Amino acid sequence: MAPGPTSPEAEARAVGGGAGKEDEAAASPTTLTADHASLGPVSSPEECARGVDGEAAREDGAASSPWLPASPDTDTTDYARLDLDEVGEAEQEGHASLPCEEKEAKELREHEEDCDADDEAEEEEEDDEEAPTHLPLAPSSESELPDDTSTFDPSFTISLIRKLVPSGPDVDKEFIVNQGQAEEKDTSSSDGGKPTQPDDNDLWDEEGGKLWDLSAIESQAKLMVNNLVLEVLLANLHVRQSLRAKEICIGILGNLACHKSLADAITSHNGLIATVVNQLFLNDSACLTETFRLLSTIFQSNASMSWAEALLPDEILSRIIWIIGNTVNSTLFHKTLEFLSALVDDQDVITILIEPLIKVGLVDCSISLLLTELEKSMDGNNLNRSDSLDSIFRLIEELSAIDNCSKIMSSNDQLIKALNSVVKLPDKFEVEDYCASVLIILANVLSDGEHLTPILSDDLPLLEGLFDILPLVSDDNEARNAFWCILTRLLEQVHTQESVVNSSKVEQFVSIFLAKFTPIKDDIETHGIQTEADSSVEGVSLKNGLCTSLRAMCNITKRWIADKSSLGKEDASLTDSSIKSARELLNFCRSAMGTTDL
């Protein structure tokens, strides 16, 4: 599933933490200042905008810069009309105020507004004293969630962008070059090109957090891009030293990228790809989490190739693999795995990246992660579920479908041993999703590891465990297909060596067939044998796999019946019931294949 836009509130609710910097999740602030307290703890981003945009639109003292976003053509004076109309009426009646009187009147109105805001804040604190003050409450229904039809004053969004504009000669010069403006800028400032604004985390938590919220709404995201938010974010990533500021900038970009209509604009923005890729070298889990979220989103869009080419250098890919193999932050770990899955799912991207990724150790790293997580999750003969194990199994399953990766996996004895141990687990109901992945991985690995087939075909507990998994994956076409493909390879190996297989071994095989006859029968009766496969493993169709498996079972069973029929009368009473069951198995297999020749 494609990651959707995130907001600070959504991420904070997910981890149960506050609005500040957290190790377990990247979250931007949600707490509002006293000036905005009237919004209440259940405010949505739209309500925040409606509650404060009037004041934001009238801020005359905002720092000016030659590259500040221009106000939109939309009329944004609704929140100031009441006062202006009153002044107009006073002038019409001949009571226009003198300059000093106007100043006093303005100060009075501002004082009254502040008092009203304080009163509303106090009332709200009394009403919501039992509610957590650091997190907004979840909407009571989907109708309260923000959508593209919500009304916002554009000046509020633009004012947030303006407040985050860094200033300094190098910043201004960079903007002018990017925009193609011909104006000359004075670069003789003694600050050496550094931003004149301090790295104020409170500013970023407050104003940056609101912008992060609003970027989850497509109409607001488009407004931001049209009003130079990409330039502002890019400049801040270049000049800001605050990791919190960088995290919020990347988080906003991640939300913008979730809107497909903006993916091309983000990708084509001069210098943005290189700047984002450079964030991979930060040593901050929150920043890295947002960076991988952004990359995962981009690699699910039509703009992925430019980003894939930017990742090609070994230094960058090695850094990615190092992060995956060494992070202890669970949120970051899952985001890196999501990123790799997004790469693998894009055929064009993985075509150019798979060899470089293999070169820097992707397959070995993935196997090492699986072995480590399996060791941690094993409890005696039981395997405990974990989100990490889910993600790792999915990644290895996806990699095993790639030829070069499956070849490496087939030569890794530890991986084969680990997959074998999962198949042999006595209780598989709690981990049936893992079992499906194991079947698919084994089927893909066996297609490239022919040397494994003789070894695994002699492992009767493995064969028994495979039959135990069949009912669990009966409704999963891909896993069911993988089961029959594995069984085909193993039984074909036994059939070709029939002359050297002793009677005792044949009897063990038949014993397993008879014990597992019910799940075999149920599966074939439910799904049939003539239906074309939805998918195949290395070109082995489900129909061919089923027929080949059943034919091999029949041949092995016929040999066993012949051996038992030649026994003396003294042993006949011990084998009559078994032979009867074996003949029933033979008849079912013949009927399923539509033949009587076997």
Which tens digit of pLDDT belongs to each residue from 223-267? 999 999 999 999 999 998 889 999 999 999 999 999 988 999 999
Domain boundaries, the chain: 8-74+149-360, 455-593
> What is the distance between the alpha carbons of residues 581 and 576, in angstroms, rounded to a whole number?
9
Query: So what's the pLDDT on residue 466?
Result: 94
The CA R_g of the chain, rounded to the nearest whole Å, is: 33
Predicted pLDDT of residue 150: 55
CB of 172 within 8 A of CB of 185? Answer: yes
Q: What is the pLDDT of residue 580?
A: 87
- Helices (H) and strands (E) in the chain — how many of each? 30, 2
The pLDDT of residue 574: 53
For the four alpha carbons of 128, 132, 135 and 138, in that order, the dihedral sign comes to negative
Where do we find the tokens 């952004």? 294
Say if residue 471 is exposed, middle or buried (CB neighbours under 10 Å; 0-12, 13-18, 19+).
middle
Longest dimension (CA), the chain: 129
Count of alpha carbons within 13 Å of 386, Cβ hemisphere only? 19
As its CATH architecture, domain 8-74+149-360 has Alpha Horseshoe (1.25)
Taking 70 as the pLDDT cut, the residues of the chain under it are 1-151, 168-201, 498-501, 530-544, 567-575, 596-598
Q: What is the pLDDT of residue 522?
A: 92
Q: Please tell me whether residue 384 adopts helix, strand or coil conformation.
A: coil
Question: How far apart, in whole angstroms, are the C-alpha atoms of residue 79 and residue 58?
Answer: 9
End-to-end CA distance of the chain: 47
Separation between Cα atoms, residue 469 and residue 42, nearest integer Å: 48
What's the CA gap between 49 and 319, in Å, rounded?
Answer: 40
Q: Which of 362, 369, 271 is nearest to 319 (CA)?
A: 362
Euclidean distance between CA atoms 378 and 22, whole angstroms: 30
Strand partners, 383: 378
Residue-level pLDDT at 113:
56
Q: What is the pLDDT of residue 117?
A: 53
pLDDT at 386: 80
Instruction: Record the pTM.
Output: 0.69
- Token digits for 120? 């509303």
47: left (phi over 0), alpha (psi -120 to 50) or beta: alpha
